[in-house]
Amino acid sequence: METKSKKEKNAVLQMLLPAVIFVVFSLTVLLLYSQKLNKIFDDTLNEQIRETTLLYSTRLRQEITDMAVAGAPAADMIAFGRSSEADCLEALARNTHADRVVLMETDGTGIDSDAQAAAYDPELFTDGLRLGKSTYHYLGEGAIGVITPVMKADNIEKLLLQEYNTDQLDEKFNNFNFGKETWVILIDDEGQIMYRYGGKNSDYISVDDNFFDRISEINNGNVVRFMDNYTKDISGNISLDFNGDKREVFYKSMGINNWHLLIGMPQSYMGIRNASKREAVTEMMRWIMLGVALFVVMIVINSNMDRVRRKVKSDGLIQLAETDQLTNLYNKVTTEKKIKEFIEEHPDTQSLIFVLDIDNFKKINDTMGHAFGDEVLRTIGQRIKMEFRASDIIGRAGGDEFIIFLKGLKDEELIVREALKVENFFKDFKAGDGYVKYSATASIGCAVFPRDAGDFEGLYKAADQALYKAKQRGKNQLAFYKDPEGFGQSV
């Protein structure tokens, strides 16, 4: 009895000693590295703002370049008389982010989608026009113009202008959570401010002012480095002092005409945020010490319960195994779960789902045997997994059905390219070893998130309908729920 009591005491001491060492070590680290913690907090906040700058610059660029994408076919239809000028202008005004759509002569005069006369200074854009290419111009007063030439026989006959008013960007920054005094500006390659948001007391910046003129008054190395990075289209952040208004300025290239999106955060605000984080660390250490004390009290009681919990958890993990044993892909439950999690966390990230069935799979089982059928499925699973990124979601939904979910496809060209890769996968696919080779084909249905559906159930249903269309067309092919050009009509 005495021996058992001694063993229990030793066990408690063995678990208590690491806890005490952990507390002492944590307090020592907190005291010795308080200055390093400040840098860590600064770096973390800087990274958050850099990511925010990238996010907003990407969204804005997408809206502007989408107008160029839409303008090209509209210009062709006008040039070749496939549709009336009024219908093309109205369609662009309705389906793009343009605030005004104008068909102009090269002298700057024209008619907009509301049949109203329009006039622009041709010097704003004529020097930058390129045959058959859309160009981007700042028109002044917060307006950006996307110019698409209407070509006939390699000559510019007219100009299709889509005017984008940057005031509509205010809605995108409504959830901007870096303080009211933080400003956001969009500048062109000459430093002219095309848009401003926030920074209510920052009177030194406003639309159509020149940002370069403002910072030229600041004579320090940071300005020189900023201007050097700007001309080289490099993104980053610098510290600037605007006559006592000290700010950390983050800048990101738009990828258009060397335009940049800048976020200027007051350094005082950064200090306040980091101070709250340091207080949170101190508070955390207090709770750690209290937790250790409670841990010691509960350690004996929990020792047996912990063994039971581990067994229950182990049994649960076995039941909820993620892998399909035949193909080594995700099983149906896990595939659906991971797609739903991605959709919930990235509701605006364009992605692509494929649902594919092996053509005549029953015939493969009947003529070649179930073992060979399993080999076909196993080979497909292995090779499909090699075709795509590790971050993409690939699973077997059961039987001869597979699901492929590709994340983050930004534009239509990339969607079509990935679809062709999936379709071409089965053009020369063969399964089996030695003298027994089988050329399996598949019918594939494809849907685009969030364009075709905003949740997994709707997205899967859309892809399944596209799969049915592919089978109706004769199998061994891919069909979209809503087909891009070159893939036929929509379901």
| C-alpha to C-alpha distance for 440 and 421, rounded to whole angstroms | 16
| C-alpha to C-alpha distance for 395 and 250, rounded to whole angstroms | 41
Q: 3-state class of 412 per DSSP?
A: helix
Burial class (CB in 10 A: 0-12, 13-18, 19+), 201: exposed
Write down the architecture of domain 332-480 according to CATH.
2-Layer Sandwich (3.30)
Distance of CA 48 to the CA centre of its chain: 15
Spans of all domains in the chain: 2-32+287-318, 169-268, 332-480
Residues 6+ apart with CB under 8 A from 207: 141, 142, 166, 193, 194, 195, 196
Task: Tell me the pLDDT of the chain (491 aa) as tens digits.
Answer: 446 556 555 655 665 666 667 666 666 655 665 556 666 766 777 788 888 888 888 888 888 889 889 988 998 888 888 888 899 999 999 998 899 999 999 888 999 999 999 999 888 777 777 777 888 999 999 999 999 998 888 788 889 999 999 888 888 777 777 778 889 999 998 889 999 988 877 777 889 999 888 887 776 677 777 787 777 767 788 888 888 888 888 888 888 888 999 998 888 877 666 555 556 656 665 665 566 556 655 654 665 566 656 666 665 565 567 888 889 899 999 999 999 999 999 999 999 999 999 998 888 888 888 888 888 898 888 888 888 888 999 999 888 999 999 999 888 888 898 999 888 888 878 877 766 777 888 999 999 999 999 899 999 999 999 999 999 999 999 999 987 765 544 44
| C-alpha to C-alpha distance for 420 and 394, rounded to whole angstroms | 17
DSSP H helices in 247-266: none
| Among 34, 17, 20, residue whose Cα is nearest residue 275 | 34
- How much is the pLDDT for 490? 42
Q: Write the CATH number of the domain with boundaries 169-268.
A: 3.30.450.20
The CA–CA distances, whole Å, from 139 to 94, 122, 192, 439, 477 equal 22, 10, 11, 58, 47
- How much is the pLDDT for 169? 84
- In terms of DSSP bridges, do strands 117-119 and 135-140 run parallel, antiparallel, or are they unpaired? unpaired
Q: Tokens 């910072």 sit at which residue?
A: 215
One-letter amino acid of 42? D
Does a cis peptide bond (omega within 30 degrees of 0) precede residue 122? no
First CA to last CA distance, the chain: 79
- How much is the pLDDT for 356? 92
Using an 8 Å Cβ cutoff, are 463 and 449 in contact?
no
Global model pTM greater than 0.85: no
- How much is the pLDDT for 307? 61
| C-alpha to C-alpha distance for 481 and 487, rounded to whole angstroms | 10
Q: Write out the two tokens for 63.
A: 């809206």
Using an 8 Å Cβ cutoff, are 199 and 182 in contact?
yes
DSSP 8-state code for residue 28: H
Using an 8 Å Cβ cutoff, are 182 and 173 in contact?
no
- How much is the pLDDT for 443? 93
Sheet holding 236-242: strands in order across? 193-198, 183-187, 260-266, 245-253, 236-242
